[in-house]
Amino acid sequence: MSPILFILLGLVAGVFGGAFGIGGASVMVPALIYLAGFTQHQAQGTILAAMIPPIGLLAALRYWQAGNVKISVAALLCAGFFFGGYIGASLVQNIPEPVLKKSFGVFLLLISLKMIIGK
């Protein structure tokens, strides 16, 4: 993929992330795998590195300006996410790519089914 396509992919993921709070993983991980030929591990690692500055700053600022951010809860979630992200990343390094890819797909499927048919 050319740099422009990566920028466009980031733009699309940013729109979805800012609009739905889904983060970039649900858009960018599959795109990097199927459009750019990344492995599951490479896609997940790249997305984690890419999401640090933009999602956490501008999208959250806009929600905060509208009165839709609970700072105390966000700080607690941040602490858990900080350490949980390290633990999760450590756990998946030795999982074979086909297993990790299927696990990611099942996770997205379960979430989507719950949101579509759940209460």
CA atoms within 13 A on the CB side of 22: 18
Q: What is the pLDDT of residue 14?
A: 74
pLDDT reading at 72 higher than 90: no
Structural domain boundaries, residue 113: 3-117
Q: What is the pLDDT of residue 55?
A: 61
CA atoms within 13 A on the CB side of 17: 24
pLDDT reading at 91 higher than 80: yes
- What pTM did the predictor assign? 0.63
Q: What is the number of domains present in the chain?
A: 1
In 21-96, which ranges are continuous DSSP H helix?
A: 25-36, 40-54, 60-65, 71-92
